[in-house]
Structure formats: C-alpha cells, structure tokens
Amino acid sequence: MKYKLLALDLDGTTLTSNHEILPQVKQEIQRVKDDVVVLLVTGRHHTAARPYHHELGLDTPIISCNGTYIYDFSSDTVVKENALPKEKAKQFLQLAHQHQLNMVMYVTDAMTFSSQKPIEYMKALEAWAEDFPAAIKPEIRRIASFEQELALNEYIWKFVVEGDIEQIESFTRLPFIQDEFSGEKSWSNRIDFANKGNTKGARLAEYIQTLGITPSEVIAIGDNHNDISMIELAGLGVAMANADDAVKRAADISTPEGNDGKGIADIISTYFRA
C-alpha cells in the first residue's frame, strides 16, 4: 500500500516528554515531507504548535484543538472552524465555576488561564514559551476574567479542565455538557471540551477529501484518547508504545519504542521508504 498522508499528534507522539523532537524523528519527517503530506493533528492551540511546525519545515496547514479548526501558518488565517458559540461558552463557564474546576480557555490567538488560580502545567508552558523568538513564540496569557476574555475574542476554540479526573468525568456527565460538547481525555488528569462533533478524526476525514486522499492512504499516529478517532479512520492506525491501553486497542499496530525512545522514526522509515 502506498500511503499519501502522515497524520501526527504532537504531545506524547512526535514530542518527547521534554517537549522536544528527537533528531532521528526530525530527520525522518524531513526526509518524507516533500513526497507525502505530513500533517500535524493536535490538541494544542496553533500558537503552541507553531514552533514545531517551523522546526520541521512544514508547509501544510495544521489541525488544532482536536479538530476544532484548521490553521494556515503561511497566511496566518483560519481555514475552517467549528468554534464554540459564545452563549454556549458562557454557560460552560458558569457550570465550571459552580463545580470549582481549574480551566484553560483557548481563544482566537492565545491560550488563557486564571491569574488568581494559575494551573501548574500552564505556568510551565508559559516559561517554555519564553525561549522562542517573537515570530514563533506561543501566545500564553494570564487573565483576570474568563468572561471578559470571552467577550473580547472572535473565536472560543475549546476549554481544558485539569484536576481530579473523577471529578472532571462527573462533570462530563452533566446533561448540558453531554448534549453540547465533545469531551476527550488529552492527559491523565485533563479533559478537553470542544464544540459537539469536533474530533481529530472528523476534521482529518474532511480535510483529506479536499486533497483527493482516501482514509486507506493515511497513516495516523497518536498516544491518547483524543487520537482514537483519527487512528480508527486511518488505513494504518498506529498507537505509541507509551499510549494508553484504549488507544492501543483501537490501533492496527504500535510503535516498537515510545516517544522517549525511537518514537515514530521506525514507523516512518518502514512505511515511507526512499
């Protein structure tokens, strides 16, 4: 089978635990990127994925926030989106405050989190972002009010809730959340809440159709629950060796080594030969 598109998750897949791209992984991606479509399909905001897109020298758009939107870095434009309507986002905020949940809100051009109750992983991301030059620096902001930030932005892409996973899973079972949001686990203690129907697999299926590529011609690689939809879509769905068991059950194969070993390099070298 000749595969025409390689869909890659970032965290836990293309990136190591230290949020770096291994030299052998970078070499393999750069080897094939002129012959096949290499597409980053991530839960990240596009500004937080930009440094890696730049490092890999990709010219393809990126699927961000678990399929919520497609962003084109070459023109700095949103190609297609299914953002949260503001009224729905307001209701989400009200419920989340009532349940005393810790949140991150992804808006048009930034990831925002509370300055009064900052989340630890966002503080770490904030420090990480400082290492990049202005042209590719991720936009991460501490804010005083989610409601005020919501009013100022054109797009609300998604919410990330972090904390006690049982408490968050209980929140996902609220009727309004079940009816209006797609909730997917993106880390051991985080669930992402996007507009209903937004998944990596759904957006990837739509995008490849515009290229004349069929799902059977796609390899998709990921490690967490939000990757399952694209892994199941792909002709060859690949779970990382470090993936959750549910992801491995959904995949056709797993990588020989995890993201801190050879990662995805073996898969690319095997299925995209020179």
Cα separation of 240 and 169, whole Å?
24
Exposed/middle/buried for 55, CB within 10 Å: 0-12, 13-18, 19+? middle
Residues 42-53 as b or e (16 or more Cβ within 10 Å = b): bbbbbbbbbbbb
* Phi–psi pair at 65, nearest 5 degrees: 50, 50
- Whether 9 is a known active-site residue: answer yes
Per the residue annotation, which of 9, 11, 192, 244 is the catalytic one? 9
Cα separation of 241 and 259, whole Å?
8
Cα separation of 100 and 94, whole Å?
10
Q: Which amino acid is at 24?
A: Q
Identify the CA nearest to 163 among candidates 128, 122, 110, 129. 122
Cα separation of 179 and 190, whole Å?
20
Provide the annotated active-site residues: 9
